Amino acid sequence: MTDATSAPPSAPRRTGLAALELDTRLLGMIGAFVLIALAFHFASDGRFVTPRNLFNLTIQTVSVAIMATGMVFIIVMRHIDLSVGSVLATCSAVMAMTQTMIVPDMLGFGLGSPATAPIAIVMGLVAGAAIGAFHGWLIGYLTIPAFIVTLGGLLIWRNVAWYLTNGQTIGPLDETFQLFGGINGTLGTTWSWIVGLIAVAAALWGLWSARRGKIAHDAPVKPLWAEGVVAAIIAAAILGFVALLNGYTVPSRVLERRFEAEGLTMPEGYVEGYGVPISVLLLIAVAIVMTVIAKKTRFGRYIFATGGNPDAAELSGIDTRMLTVKVFALMGVLCALAALVASARLTNHSNDIGILDELRVIAAAVIGGTALKGGVGTIYGAIIGALIMQSLQSGMAMVGVDAPLQNIVVGGVLVAAVLLDIWYRKRTGARD
């Protein structure tokens, strides 16, 4: 009987870094982010790698990253969605109008009622799913190319959002709704550490379960020292991230107003950190769910099988038309979640919300390693790609780069990322 702490006899002997079995593509993306951060840090006289800037960078990344996870499935199936920014705008408009008109006027609940935010979020999710399913029906059943359907959607839904609000900015939004925006909704330092420790425990349990599963099937496993190094890296990354966000402290004037509102005097030297934003927890939850869908469900296997070879997938009995509807409906739901985060961060709905997000989302997925030929893509890659995109834009804005030049750089990075991905696949012969 094979012990759970020893490698099976069939496991090849590996030494040094090879024993860690690290994902070279993941390391490359992390390395690119580190280089970008350091370059802008020095160029901005030490203002980029600070708790405040990285906190803001994180919450600015969330909405694009959420949509990028869905764009992975779209591109994996050899489609494209150019309408995500406009769908986001429509979902944002629906949620804003629900809070300010539908709930107070039709249901009798005032702004601030506990029911307002949940009803608005559900309405936004339903609107996003319906729009996405409609796109999928046009593509899957009427065989209109996804490029044309979503290009039309880019124009249609942007202007539907305008008509829903009569071109007005709608706000301020419900305070509970604003909790999903970032700085208006955080866990605080204590709960952030608790969540961080829970995340470390979950990660270690996942590593151990994966090792036991490999041993049970006589598959090769890493040496125990290598498992320990990987576990230490993951734990350090999680706790370091929490420490970084906890390091961004609430301005003293904000704390003073809070104490005054409660009739108290703020203690001298009192400091309070923001902690992990609720929007980041939402992104983590989306990433986990999408990863499970991709790797552990029949739905996910069908997506990658269809993208790898659509004809073979259809001949094997996969209903590719309904699968297309489901994937685009899922994309619509993710657009609604992104709308929730984006409008909550702004505390209102504005007509320009989500403009050019479709390009950022596609770029994030591609930079993250999703192959435009289909069949290949990862959720974590898309999220890191979104972080790299936002880092570039935030860093260039910080050092005073003009907006036109920012777009030139982002476009160049996108093309370069595709070229590097082509070279990588040719060199390694890999499909994932």
Average of per-residue pLDDT across 323-343? 96
Reading the block at residue 107, the tokens are 């249901």
Q: What is the mean pLDDT of residues 328-356?
A: 94
Which is higher by pLDDT, 312 or 403? Answer: 312
Q: How many CB atoms lie within 10 A of CB 178?
A: 21
Q: Give the tokens for residue 56.
A: 């803001």
7-21, 276-290, 370-384: which has the minimum mean pLDDT? Answer: 7-21
- The verdict on 129 and 258 lying in the same domain is no
pLDDT at 9: 45
Domain boundary among 276, 297, 323: 276
Lowest mean pLDDT among 96-100, 171-175, 217-221: 217-221
pLDDT of residue 13: 56
For helices 278-296 and 379-398, what crossing angle results, to 10°?
150
Instruction: Please check the confidence at residue 222 and state whether its pLDDT lies above 60.
Output: yes
**Whether residue 309 sits in one domain with residue 284:** yes
Distance CA 303, CA 9 (A): 35
CB atoms within 10 A of CB 165: 20
State whether 194 and 175 are in the same domain.
no
Cα 30 to Cα 21, 63, 186, 267, 383: the distances in Å are 16, 20, 26, 41, 11
* Same domain membership, residue 255 and residue 174: no
pLDDT single digits (tens) 295-328: 999 999 999 999 989 989 988 999 999 999 999 9
- Give the residue, 375 or 307, on which the prediction is more confident: 307
Q: Which band of pLDDT confidence, cut at 50, 70 and 90, is reported for residue 218?
A: confident
Give the model's pLDDT for residue 262. Answer: 81
Position 77 in a domain: yes
Q: 212 and 354, same structural domain? A: no
Enclosing domain of residue 217: 186-276
- Give the residue-averaged pLDDT of 150-166: 95
Question: Other C-beta atoms within 10 Å of 241: how many?
Answer: 17
Is residue 34 domain-resident? Answer: no
CA–CA separation, 356 and 400 (whole Å): 21
In this predicted model, which residue has the larger pLDDT, 184 or 120?
120
pLDDT in tens, 33-68: 889 999 999 988 888 988 899 999 999 999 999 999
pLDDT for residue 86: 96
Asked if residue 110 and residue 94 are part of one domain, the reply reads yes
Residues 6 or more apart whose CB falls under 8 angstroms from that of 24 comprise none
In angstroms, the CA 371 to CA 56 distance is 30
Distance from the Cα of residue 397 to its chain's centroid: 22
**CA distances from residue 46 to 21, 35, 42, 51, 408 in whole angstroms, order as listed:** 35, 14, 6, 12, 25
Structural domain contains residue 29: no
Q: Is the model's pLDDT at 242 over the cut of 90?
A: yes
Residues 113 and 202 in one domain: no
Q: Which domain CATH number covers 390?
A: 1.10.3470
Identify the pLDDT of residue 5. Answer: 46
- What average pLDDT does range 371-392 have in this prediction? 90
- If asked whether residues 159 and 231 sit together in one domain, one would say no
Same domain, 77 and 150: yes
Give how many domains the chain has, as a whole number: 2
Residue 125 lies in a domain: yes
pLDDT (0 to 100) of residue 45: 86
pLDDT score of 10: 43
Give 380's contacts (C-beta < 8 A, 6+ positions apart): 26, 287, 291, 368
Within-domain flag for 203: yes
* C-alpha to C-alpha distances, 3 to 203, 216, 218, 221, 230, nearest whole angstrom: 22, 10, 11, 12, 21
Q: Can you say how many angstroms the Cα of residue 16 is from the centroid of all Cα atoms in its chain? A: 33
Is there a domain that residue 97 lies in?
yes
pLDDT tens column, 11-33? 455 555 566 666 777 788 888 88
Check residue 18 and give its pLDDT.
62
Please give the distance of CA 106 from its chain centroid, rounded to a whole number. Answer: 34
Neighbours of 102 (CB within 10 A): 17
More confident residue, 378 or 417: 378
Structure confidence at residue 14 (pLDDT): 58
Residue 341 belongs to a domain: yes
Q: Global pTM?
A: 0.90
Please confirm whether the linkage preceding 9 is cis (ω < 30° from 0). Answer: no
| End-to-end alpha carbon distance in the chain | 34
Residues 214, 216, 221, 223, Cα dihedral to 10°: 140
Which has the higher per-residue pLDDT, 424 or 399?
Answer: 399
Q: Are residues 284 and 221 in the same domain?
A: no
Q: Say if residue 352 is in the same domain as residue 403.
A: yes
| Stated length of the chain | 432
> Residue 145 domain-assigned?
yes
